[in-house]
A and B are shown apart, each in its own frame.
Chain A
Amino acid sequence: MDEALLRSLTPGVLGILVRRGADFAAAEDAVQDALAEAVRVWPAGPPRDPKGWLVTVAWRRFLDQARADAARRRREGLVDEQPAPGPAPAVDDTLQLYFLCAHPSLTPSSAVALTLRAVGGLTTRQIAQAYLVPEATMAQRISRAKRTVSGVRFDRPGDVATVLRVLYLVFNEGYSGDVDLAAEAIRLTRQLAARVDHPEVAGLLALMLLHHARRAARTAPDGSLVPLAEQDRGRWDTGLIAEGVAILQAALARDRLGEFQDQAAIAALHADAPSAEETDWTQIVEWYDELTRLTDNPVVRLNRAVAVGEADGPRAGLAALAALDAALPRHTAAAAYLHERDGDLATAARLYAEAAHKAPDLAERDHLTRQAARLNTRQGR
């Protein structure tokens, strides 16, 4: 059975239930039940109309649960409330779900979890595994998130920027488990791009595709990180690169630049270079200049300093770096790299070891320790 197809139907089915007047939290539970039922039943007898099947089963689940709740309330002497009338169908249900699950009242971790479940159709267990937390913890996070957005009207357009931030997080902070979160983020962004005509949605999709194209080359067989300059470019996925570049070019042609299009442009320049030496660093610095104007993010300035080091030489890079706060993440690692390029191997080795000490994850720590070791070995132990 095609689980991706099944999951792609999730938001549409959920949207129909909410439109019929079901409250979001109950409808979402009913859709999850219907998905589980489909996984059980479809392999033996796949329905002709999968979406219709899911709507029917989910709606029945919802009614059963609503009746049970009403009976319980009557038993407990509570007044049965009339269900709120469903909003008028004016906007795309699936799009509304993206907005709801990325609502600004949610914390980023809640918005991510809710999006993966209600829009992505993943189970709580799969989401819990992906983020390395117990299933009960993730179940609580999701039900709290559903309560938080329970009063949000379903018929008002939301802010695309909040949705993009959530999808970016899913792509960038995918960890482990049996679900490939990077691929899932791409699927959800494609689905969004098909519904909303916005150059930044296209920009984010292009950015994801261009980074995903390099994934196989990013780690060595032993699990260690391979920096961009040392990656085997023959292992980059040229199909994904071509698609990402085409999407980016169409977006840029509309002349409404945003941070995701800009980041995608930088990724495209790397993807475009036949070898690390042939990278167009001058253009990359220009895109970083533009990105600084768009976001004024200190991490962008740090990356810009490294690019300046490639375009105008390591001394220029170190000068750009000196203007930044030394407490910035990866500042020490960038300094180590630029000092090595400048030929000061002793300083570079010392800074690599110091950067390893501050590294935020084990793969990066091992990588930086290896860099220090490489230089120390070269200088004699």
Chain B
Amino acid sequence: MAKYLLLKHYRGAPAAVNDVPMDRWTPEEISAHVQYMRDFAARLEKTGEFVDGQGLAPEGTWVRYDGEGRPPVTDGPFAETKDLIAGWMVIDVDSYERALELAGELSAAPGAGGKPIHEWLELRPFMAAPPTITECPH
């Protein structure tokens, strides 16, 4: 089994095929989209491949240490930041091919006009723990 992170971006991904902002869809189209996402996660829970899914608020803050006894320095949010993560899903699957297949399905979530969004999702493998058996058997 291998874990993968499916990242959805507010900004920074290449433009989707069906690229209409959500507040320009009909309420029914939004409902259909939300239902698709729920069903997708529920199905992965049933197959034992779902690990976690979370949405993130669009705005965050940059923080850094500023020396002993001083409060941390904060900055941002930066309106010009190119890459903005909207949320993620973590899956635990048997193969890279399966991860691609699932990412493809998620990208097909319906959008404006009830048609698939064809949204670009970023697929990132987790760095795994080192294996127990380190000697190669052959």
Chain A residues proximal to chain B, CB less than 8 Å? 222-224, 349, 352-353, 356-360, 362, 365-366, 369-370, 372-374, 376-377, 381
Contacts and interface: CB of A to CB of B under 8 A. Distances in A.
Interface stretch (B24-32, B68-76, B94-102, B128-136): B24-32
Contacts of B55: 362, 365
Interface string B19-39: 001111111011100110010
Chain B contact residues: helix, strand, loop or mixed: helix
Contacts of A366: 30, 34
B24 A373 contact: yes
B23 A376 contact: yes
Contact of B30 (A352, A358, A359, A370): A370
B57 interface: yes
B24 A224 contact: no
Contact of A381 (B22, B24, B31, B35): B24
Contact of A223 (B22, B23, B34): B34
A370 B24 contact: no
A89 B26 CA distance: 65
Given A357-B58, A360-B57, A373 B34 contact: no
B34 A377 contact: no
A376 B24 contact: yes
Given A360-B57, A362-B55, A353 B31 contact: no
Contacts of A223: 34-35, 38
A210 to B, nearest CB: 29
B58 A373 contact: no
Contacts of B58: 357
A373 B27 contact: yes
A222 B31 contact: yes
Interface centre among A356, A359, A369 (most CB of B within 10 A): A369
Given A357-B58, A360-B57, A377 B38 contact: no
A224 B34 contact: yes
Q: How large is the interface on B (under 10, 10 to 19, 20 to 34, 35 or more residues)?
A: 10 to 19
Interface of B: 21-27, 29-31, 34-35, 38, 55, 57-59
A353 B23 contact: yes
Majority DSSP secondary structure for residues of A touching B: helix
A369 B38 contact: no
15 contacts: A222-B34, A223-B34, A223-B38, A353-B23, A356-B23, A358-B59, A359-B57, A362-B55, A366-B34, A369-B23, A370-B27, A370-B30, A373-B26, A377-B26, A377-B27
Among A352, A365, A373, find the residue whose CB has the most chain B CB atoms closer than 10 A: A373
A371 to B, nearest CB: 8
B38 A373 contact: no
Q: Which of B23, B26, B30 has the most CB of A within 10 A?
A: B23
Contacts of A370: 27, 30-31
Given A222-B34, A366-B34, A369-B22, A374 B27 contact: yes
A25 to B, nearest CB: 32
A376 B27 CA distance: 10
Given A357-B58, A360-B57, A366-B30, A373 B35 contact: no
Given A222-B31, A223-B38, A224-B31, A373 B22 contact: yes
Nearest to B30: A370
A373 B22 CA distance: 7
Contacts of A353: 21, 23
A352 B34 contact: no
The 5 closest A-B pairs by CB, nearest first: A372-B23, A353-B23, A370-B27, A377-B26, A374-B27
A353 B55 CA distance: 17
Contacts of A358: 57, 59
Nearest to B10: A357
B57 A373 contact: no
Nearest to B55: A362
Contacts of B23: 349, 352-353, 356, 369, 372-373, 376
Contacts of B25: 373
Contacts of A224: 31, 34
A357 B11 CA distance: 13
A201 B116 CA distance: 52
B28 to A, nearest CB: 9
A352 B30 CA distance: 14
Contacts of A360: 57
B40 to A, nearest CB: 14
